[in-house]
Amino acid sequence: MEKQRVKQYALILAVAGVLLAIGILIHPDETQEGALTHPFWFLAHLIIGIAFVLVVFGLRAFEIKQDKLNGFDKFSITLVTLVTIIIVGLAFFVESFIVPALANSQYAEALAETGPLMGGVFGTVLFVILIIMALSFVLLGITVIVRKYANPLAGIFLFGIVPLVFAPPLPWITGLIGGVLAGIGISWIGVSIFRNVK
């Protein structure tokens, strides 16, 4: 029964990675005029939100066998889980609904980097969350590499979250490539865990 549960969660993780890559691929370049009101803006964040929901559940593939996890493993998995839950809320509610609505209103200037949102407390909190998110996926990647849950390259691909969360200010194409690689890494890990369950 436990093996079946691990397989189910591993498949969820694999699907999450595919959805993340798709969401990133269709995400408009937010440095371009009209990106926030582009129809794909909502769709991309909806897909990314669903992907992160699935990541939260898919990580259970690691957690079921707690006796095989060391302190570092548990910390990295827990940190990814917690920050992903926060990102789900941002992707679903803030990015999918609030940002396009503001961009279409007389309050569009609030979204500017120096505006009351991004230039204020919200922007600071978001920046801290994104730093923690980047760190958490790097730590999970290290866990995957060291504990050989999958090919080391899959763990390295998780590092793609770093350029993703910091684009901008990094170029959009850098974030796109990083996000797609992270999605591939997540799927690869899910498939590897599924195949390794005997």
Establish whether the linkage from the previous residue to 100 is cis, with ω within 30° of 0.
no
pLDDT, tens digit (0-9, with 9 covering 90-100), for 58-80: 998 887 655 577 888 889 999 99
Q: What backbone torsions phi and psi does residue 114 show, to the nearest 5 degrees?
A: -105, 10
pLDDT, tens digit (0-9, with 9 covering 90-100), for 17-63: 999 999 999 988 777 776 667 788 788 888 998 999 999 999 988 87
Q: Which domain holds residue 155?
A: 2-196
Number of H helices, E strands in the chain: 9, 0
- What is the identity of the amino acid at 125? V
Q: What percent of the chain has pLDDT over 90?
A: 41
Query: Which string of DSSP letters, residue by residue, matches 73-141?
Result: HHHHHHHHHHHHHHHHHIIIIIIIIIHHHHHTSTTGGGGSTTSTTTTSHHHHHHHHHHHHHHHHHHHHH
Q: Structure pTM?
A: 0.86
Q: What backbone torsions phi and psi does residue 34 show, to the nearest 5 degrees?
A: 80, 5
More confident residue, 145 or 92: 145
How far is 9 from 4, CA to CA, in rounded Å?
9
How far is 195 from 198, CA to CA, in rounded Å?
8
When divided into structural domains, the chain yields a total of: 1
- At residue 111, does pLDDT exceed 80? no
Cβ partners under 8 Å of residue 58, min gap 6: 9, 10, 12, 13, 14, 15, 16, 186, 190
Residue with tokens 């009209």: 34
